[in-house]
Structure 1
């Protein structure tokens, strides 16, 4: 484009600062290029008009500005000799009715693969399509398809369905439906994780782990209360497998365990399945911010049980693994780590344990928390732990603990 060409101001999108290809007017009265405003609303999750700062709900109408588009099109054609490219014809917005028909086609074996490919192509186009597909029931349709594969012990189309499930990101919407009350959903996804025919397919297993995380997050409390010991044993075995190959899959399964922790019986079964040792090993092998936060969150819940505390202390790296993240990862990790150490200090504070805390640097970290700009409740936890065992630690520290915590 010739630098001397002056583009009319009202042809320019306020977001992209480029000539609009498909101008649409928001409820705030401002006109934007459709691609830019949809990215602002759907992908960036903004709820205000970027120009007027007025509320702009994501589900508000974007009205095509046909008059402005004709003006832009005519101006581009008139300046073609100056290097101005013509704007393409806008693609019609995706129809909800069309998506619903595609979802229905998933129940016909002859149409399944072609339908999955069509749905994936639509989902890849833009965020607006993905939101509309979710609202049309795509998540439920994909779950039904996965259950059907489980019932038939058929893996054809599983990879495509799970990939699409991951792509749309919020496949079950905000509310619980009949599918999140069906125990067969969990059985189906556990089958995918353990399927011999998919033994080497880490991608599919990672996607299945993500789907399981979403289901557990949306599950009816009755479903979470009815989880069996074998469920936790299997999850822990897959954590070991995915921990070495796929971070996303590992974190999804850790989220599953964390969401199941509020139920006491689940915590007991996790402990009996060896979860404490497995989690410590995960943190030793692959420390990373999100993984560390999840591991510490689960360990905090489990350490409400005496058996879990005993397992943690019996591991040679147990206290060290909990101590290491303090002041190094995040405030969430600090909170969870200090809560675990507080439980150990209160219920298992033998001389041997207290000396181990000194040896691996726990006491030093607690002193640092007292001196850093940390949240008041973290300082209070650190102060209480230090004061509880100050008579032991004063003999080994050059600084009087009581002076620091006063």
Structure 2
């Protein structure tokens, strides 16, 4: 996205230069707070700049937004506009750069606990994008961050509905258990616990059986992993023992570890 000058030579858009300069200034925490405090609509303007920017300037914008959200006060976090989440999710979808994606994931981790931000992130299309990223992600830290954000989004009914509405939602979350790290496993099991508590329709329970989710939870009880993960896996299995315990979908060697 470049503009042509009068002599026909391509020139960088002024807004792109602004984002690059702002990021490269590497403002201190006090400087970032001052930027937010003196310009109440700065985040909104920054979001608008990013929507029209080049890939490079959008990446700078993502890094700058992450830094700003780390110093924002609670009222500023609660008052974030839906458009910020739309642009953040779009950056994840466009896969501009690893650093930009990581910045957006960290931004979402920082802001989703506040107010209705997790709902805003879900409404911006966050859940299916995160699931698609998780399907293609093999890097440990990226998987951990994606699952952390996904768990936050599944803390609301809208997020859980989107997870279940994605053909690969339950399967990819279950697949990451015991394959990435203790952190990733804990986040994934917590997502399954939320689904089991609040979305346990007969069809969902049957899907969890057929996809091997229940078998994976039984496996968790047999292997060496943290007590927290085992406790949550046990809770899920106990919640629906009547529907699952005697199912032929669970291999015999795993069925033996089904909690009483």
TM-score in terms of structure 1 length: 0.55
Assess, with a 3 A threshold, how the Cα gap between structure 1 residues 156 and 301 changes in structure 2: closer, same or farther: closer
Equivalence for 1:164? 24
- Aligned counterparts of 1:232 and 1:163: Cα–Cα separation in 2: 20
Q: Which one has a bigger Cα radius of gyration?
A: 1
- Does 1:178 find its partner at 2:34? yes
Paired residues for 1:257-406 under 5 Å: 257-393=108-244, 394-396=246-248, 397=250, 398-399=252-253, 401=255, 403-406=257-260
Equivalence for 1:240? 93
Report the Cα offset of residue 207 of structure 1.
Answer: 2.3
Gaps of 5+ in 1: 1-152
Spell out, residue by residue over 1:143-179, the C-alpha distance to the aligned partner (whole angstroms, 9 max, x if none). Answer: xxxxxxxxxx8247446525624xx5xx323797332
- Aligned counterparts of 1:218 and 1:385: Cα–Cα separation in 2: 37
CA contact (8 A) 1:390 1:401 kept: no
Secondary structure of residue in 1 paired with 2:116: helix
- Does 1:194 find its partner at 2:51? yes
- Aligned counterparts of 2:102 and 2:109: Cα–Cα separation in 1: 10
- Higher RCO (CA-CA < 8 Å; seq separation 6+): 2
- Does 1:226 find its partner at 2:79? yes
Assess, with a 3 A threshold, how the Cα gap between structure 1 residues 174 and 358 changes in structure 2: closer, same or farther: farther
- Aligned counterparts of 1:208 and 1:156: Cα–Cα separation in 2: 9
Report the Cα offset of residue 378 of structure 1.
Answer: 1.0
Gaps of 5+ in 2: 1-12
Number of aligned positions between the proteins: 244
Secondary structure of residue in 2 paired with 1:395: coil
CA contact (8 A) 1:179 1:185 kept: yes
- Aligned counterparts of 2:80 and 2:16: Cα–Cα separation in 1: 28
CA contact (8 A) 1:366 1:386 kept: yes
Q: Which has the higher helix share?
A: 2
Equivalence for 1:207? 60
- Aligned counterparts of 1:260 and 1:204: Cα–Cα separation in 2: 22
Secondary structure of residue in 2 paired with 1:183: coil
